[in-house]
Amino acid sequence: MGASSELGNFLKSRRAALRPEEVGIAPHPTRRRVTGLRREELAMLAGVSITHYTRLEQGRAVSASDSVLEAIARTLRLSDDETAHLKDLARPTATSCRPAAPRAAQAGASTRQLLAAMTDVPALVMDRRNDVLAWNHLGHALLAGHLAPESPDTPATRPNLTRMLFLDEQYRKLYTHRAEQAELAVAALRLVAGRHPDDRALAGLVGQLTMKSDEFATLWARHPVRTCTSGVKHLRHPLVGAMELSFENLVIPGTSGQHLIAYTAEPASPSEAALRLLGSATAPLAQHTTGLRH
């Protein structure tokens, strides 16, 4: 996942998606060999020299100013997330020649205490790669009741929700709109990859999913980029049926990208009743949920 090649792939994908007539370029009388904008057309519209843009797309530009990147982003009609991703790829954080081996992250004691206190709210803590570091009883019951409650405790058995979305059949069935969920997951992972190009564990996850899931490989090649901090999940749980749950994705300060996700239901709704039923139905398992140990 070299930053220079990722930058080129990203720019090419966005050039190909933008038709010339959308930006005021008249149709050419002869047949075009490219479906989207040519490099020279994009450079002209952005007010950037074709040489500078070509070097940027080929990963040979030493640096690019904010004004240049923002002009390219405006021309390509990038979203705020895509513009931030463009800047991450164009100016990757300097790292050593040989990245250090990834260290297994752990949820802090106070974070685990907070999870344990959220008795009526499904919640879990993940690292930036979506490895589950800890979950409370309802979080485990809601998302991965088929896995051992203590699985987040050991890096070797730690669930990864992105991997599960593509490779775990039971988890895949949980989402009513699974295709939409898959695209969101890939788009969020792209943002992380742009910010951490030397993350070996992340590269390994992407490589594994690309090899084992044609769906993931296709989505990854499209280079979607989007952050997802809140929204609604439509689930069909094997024990309690359909649920519509709101979620909040909260970054935990002082960590390397750890975030807490909590799910809530509309008060007095069928989904709230389903959540309560899920808690009651799985209550005997709560005392074995070792993922909340200090």
d(CA 73, CA 274): 45
Residue 184 sits in the same domain as residue 230: yes
- DSSP assignment letter at 191: H
Say if residues 213 and 169 touch (Cβ distance below 8 Å): no
Query: Which pLDDT value is given to residue 280?
Result: 92
Is residue 135 one of the residues assigned to a domain?
Answer: yes
Query: Which pLDDT value is given to residue 19?
Result: 81
d(CA 151, CA 143): 13
Range of the domain at 48: 3-90
d(CA 143, CA 96): 38
Query: Which pLDDT value is given to residue 15?
Result: 87
Query: Which pLDDT value is given to residue 30?
Result: 61
Query: Which pLDDT value is given to residue 3?
Result: 59
Block mean pLDDT (10 aa), the chain, length 294: 74 86 68 76 88 84 81 90 88 54 76 93 96 96 95 92 96 95 95 89 95 96 90 96 96 90 96 95 61 46
pTM: 0.82
Query: Which pLDDT value is given to residue 4?
Result: 66
Is residue 142 one of the residues assigned to a domain?
Answer: yes
Last residue of a domain, one of 55, 90, 125: 90
Residue 151 sits in the same domain as residue 186: yes
Query: Which pLDDT value is given to residue 218?
Result: 96
Is residue 104 one of the residues assigned to a domain?
Answer: no
Residue 224 sits in the same domain as residue 283: yes
| DSSP H or E run through 249 | strand 241-251
Place of tokens 């752990």: 106
CATH number at residue 218: 3.30.450.180
Residue 13 sits in the same domain as residue 46: yes
How many domains does one find in the chain? 2
Is residue 97 one of the residues assigned to a domain?
Answer: no
Is residue 100 one of the residues assigned to a domain?
Answer: no
CATH number at residue 19: 1.10.260.40
